[in-house]
Amino acid sequence: MIVVVFISVFAIVYYINFRRSRKRLYELADRIPGPFDYPLIGSILLTLGKDPLELVSYLMQLMHRLPSPMRAWLGPFLLVVVDRPEMVQDILSSPDCVQKPFMYDFFRISKGLFGAPADTWKRHRKLLNTSFSPAVLKSVVPKLNAKAEQFAHELNEYAGGDCFDVHVLLARYTLVTISSTTLGTDLSVEKRAVLEEYSSNAIRLFTACFERIYKAWLHPEFIYRLTPAYKEEQHRMQLFKQMSRKIINMRHAAAAENKAKDDPQDSEPEDKQELPKAKIFIERLEEISRDPNNNIDEDGFQQHIDTMMFGGNDTSAQALSNTLLTLGMYPDWQERVYQEIMEVVPTGHISYEDLTKLTCMEMFLKETLRLLPITGLIARAPVKEVQAREFTIPSGAIVLIPFLKIHRDKTIWGPDAEVFNPENFLPERCAERHPYAFIPFSQGPRNCIGMKYGWISMKILLCHVVRMYRIATDIRLPDIQLSLSLVMKLNKKHLIRLEPRIDVR
Ligand code: HEM
């Protein structure tokens, strides 16, 4: 009896102190509208028992009905959903909003750029930004062209035949191009099955990590570790890391070979040596990790590589697969994209300069990314109070920015917001809209480091494929439902058919 009384008193005192220490958080939270909180658990019940597909349509319905911005409680955590473009700009451009909330730790790559805490991230991002500079991007264009050309020829196997799932092929393709152009390693020497297994394992691994976010009861690490989900995660993580380990070993072997070949008598006199070349991501990473001040240990080095592969592989594969699907759904637009390619670059490799001339293709890609975004929502943890228009967002809150909702908001895109229309991206229409109304790569200092690379690589691939084939599909846009995950998935496979435009034998 005494023990029970003691524990109860202790719990009450603890709770009162806890509330008192967060007085300002509650004060500011109360000024943000948000209708559905229960004591202690807040809005946790909202996500209970919903699978990722149901969750998207449910949250979309809620967000369209409820006020903006909106607050909700996930147990003790204050969530603030911000979806007005001008408020999103205030958040994403604030230097006090580059910290990611604790959920990003669930992906277990907190030493890489994607999940790193703000102080480490600031230092590393500044040092690594140069590996996506225009000089580096320009230098990888020939390689991207060669890979895309080869891929387009490989598709000939499917031309004139039945529907096939193009995502499987593109996941392998983007893995090979990312590792070749940013990690300096040619994975095309690996067997097809190995690469496909790697991609599908990575998708399952990070989908499971994402699901943990809305299953709040799995948040405490000590509880999570007791579940079968943790065991499976560890198994998948081990498999996932085998590839970055292989890449590191291949780099070491190549470096040792070069050193052995390096005969000082053969080297050029200093004044005849080439100018320093633009360093791709791995070269820059190797360089900065030699400086002990940058605090990149062996594990951190590998996590940077894992991050690049996870950031660049499935995102690009999904965006390209979605675009081939939409090209198949809208043949008139496909023809316009094709005619533009024939005007700009009817044969051969496309140059860095010519890429900017593919404006119709860019509008088409943007419309696909608007309605089928790759990232459904992102989150930030302000480290100080941040003013977002008339609202003060407290430090300690978790700000959620739902791209999915912003991209379909009728107040931004008009009554036909759900209709596929690349003319939404005509220059005059873009000029009328807030620049933060469409941000598929996020914005501000912590946006996607691979954004420009992504545009270039997608345009080059599309150029080679659309030039060679007519694409068709039986799937229609209204048939598609998105499921909430780190990379948003469709409820359908990317089933397309190809007809050759030219004799590709
Ligand atoms: C269509 C393709 C892509 C889309 C839609 C996309 C989208 C995004 C978004 C929305 C973020 C911000 C995530 C957040 O704040 O939670 C992000 C971050 C990131 N992306 Fe991408 N991405 C794409 C391609 C790429 C590529 C090709 C690479 C690598 C070459 C890449 C590497 C990264 C990295 C490393 C981060 C973390 C950046 C940081 O925190 O500093 N992404 N991406």
- In the chain, the N- to C-terminal Cα span, in Å, equals 86
pLDDT exceeds cutoff 90 at 145: yes
In a domain, 268, yes or no: no
Both structure tokens of 21: 């220490």
Separation of alpha carbons 87 and 399, rounded Å: 11
Question: How far lies 107's CA from each of 72, 307, 336, 412, in Å?
Answer: 24, 10, 41, 33
pLDDT band at 390 (very low <50, low <70, confident <90, very high): very high
In a domain, 41, yes or no: no
Task: Calculate mean pLDDT across residues 303-320.
Answer: 96
Q: Is 323 in the pocket of ligand 1 (CB under 6 A)?
A: no
Strand, helix or coil at 274?
coil
Separation of alpha carbons 437 and 428, rounded Å: 15
Strand, helix or coil at 275?
coil
pTM: 0.92
Distance 26 CA to ligand 1 centre (A): 33
Alpha-carbon torsion 369, 373, 375, 379, what sign?
positive
Contact 183, 112 (CB under 8 A): no
Contact 110, 104 (CB under 8 A): yes
In a domain, 272, yes or no: no
Separation of alpha carbons 149 and 177, rounded Å: 12
Task: Calculate mean pLDDT across residues 5-13.
Answer: 71
From 97, 323, 448, the mutation candidate for ligand 1 (largest count of ligand atoms within 8 A of CB) is 448
- With tokens 């060669």, the residue in question is 146
List the Cα angle 257/127/99 in 5-degree steps: 130
Chain centroid to CA 90 = 21
pLDDT digits (tens, 9 = 90+) for 170-185: 999 999 999 999 999 9
Backbone angles phi, psi at 170, to 5 degrees: -70, -30
Q: Is 315 in the pocket of ligand 1 (CB under 6 A)?
A: yes
Q: How many domains does the chain have?
A: 1
When the pLDDT of each residue in the chain is averaged and rounded to a whole number, the result is: 90
Q: Is 182 in the pocket of ligand 1 (CB under 6 A)?
A: yes
Task: Calculate mean pLDDT across residues 253-271.
Answer: 66
For residue 1, the number of C-alpha atoms closer than 13 Å in the C-beta half-sphere is 0
Which of residues 75 and 367 earns the better pLDDT score?
367
Domain that holds residue 214: 49-256+277-500
pLDDT digits (tens, 9 = 90+) for 433-478: 999 999 999 999 999 999 999 999 999 999 999 999 999 999 999 9
pLDDT exceeds cutoff 90 at 65: no
pLDDT band at 246 (very low <50, low <70, confident <90, very high): very high
Both structure tokens of 153: 């020829």
Question: How far lies 383's CA from each of 82, 98, 340, 372, 397, in Å?
Answer: 17, 8, 47, 32, 9
Q: Is 378 in the pocket of ligand 1 (CB under 6 A)?
A: yes
> In sequence order, what are the residues at sequence separation of 6 or more whose Cβ sits closer than 8 angstroms to the Cβ of residue 383?
96, 97, 99, 118, 395
Question: Which of 7-16, 253-262, 359-368, 483-492 has the weakest average pLDDT?
Answer: 7-16
In a domain, 6, yes or no: no
Task: Calculate mean pLDDT across residues 78-102.
Answer: 96
Q: Is 175 in the pocket of ligand 1 (CB under 6 A)?
A: no
Environment class of residue 336 by beta-carbon count within 10 Å: exposed (0-12), middle (13-18) or buried (19+)? Answer: middle
**377-380: strand order across its sheet:** 70-74, 77-81, 398-402, 377-380
Which of residues 339 and 270 earns the better pLDDT score?
339
pLDDT exceeds cutoff 60 at 325: yes
Residue 24 has what pLDDT? 86
> In sequence order, what are the residues at sequence separation of 6 or more whose Cβ sits closer than 8 angstroms to the Cβ of residue 332?
none
- Whether omega before 67 lies within 30 degrees of 0, making that bond cis, reads no
Q: Is 441 in the pocket of ligand 1 (CB under 6 A)?
A: yes
Contact 361, 422 (CB under 8 A): no
**164-165: strand order across its sheet:** 164-165, 495-500, 469-472
Contact 398, 213 (CB under 8 A): no
Q: What percentage of the chain exceeds 90 in pLDDT?
A: 75
> In sequence order, what are the residues at sequence separation of 6 or more whose Cβ sits closer than 8 angstroms to the Cβ of residue 56?
376, 404, 481, 482, 483, 484, 488
Environment class of residue 501 by beta-carbon count within 10 Å: exposed (0-12), middle (13-18) or buried (19+)? Answer: middle
Environment class of residue 207 by beta-carbon count within 10 Å: exposed (0-12), middle (13-18) or buried (19+)? Answer: middle
Separation of alpha carbons 505 and 499, rounded Å: 13
In a domain, 162, yes or no: yes
Separation of alpha carbons 77 and 316, rounded Å: 32
Which of residues 483 and 17 earns the better pLDDT score?
483
pLDDT digits (tens, 9 = 90+) for 199-227: 999 999 999 999 998 888 899 999 999 99
Q: Is 374 in the pocket of ligand 1 (CB under 6 A)?
A: yes
pLDDT digits (tens, 9 = 90+) for 277-295: 789 999 999 999 999 999 9
List the Cα angle 68/73/79 in 5-degree steps: 50
pLDDT exceeds cutoff 90 at 163: yes
Look at residues 436, 457, 440, 456 and name the one whose alpha carbon lies nearest to residue 448.
Answer: 440
CATH of the domain at 333: 1.10.630.10
* Binding site feature residues for heme: 448
Distance 9 CA to ligand 1 centre (A): 48
In a domain, 265, yes or no: no
- With tokens 């023809």, the residue in question is 335
Residue 114 has what pLDDT? 97
* Binding site feature residues: 448
Distance 451 CA to ligand 1 centre (A): 7
In a domain, 237, yes or no: yes
Core vs surface per residue 163-173: b (16+ CB within 10 A) or e: bbebbbbbbbb
From 122, 280, 315, the mutation candidate for ligand 1 (largest count of ligand atoms within 8 A of CB) is 315
In a domain, 212, yes or no: yes
Separation of alpha carbons 314 and 114, rounded Å: 15
Residue 34 has what pLDDT? 76
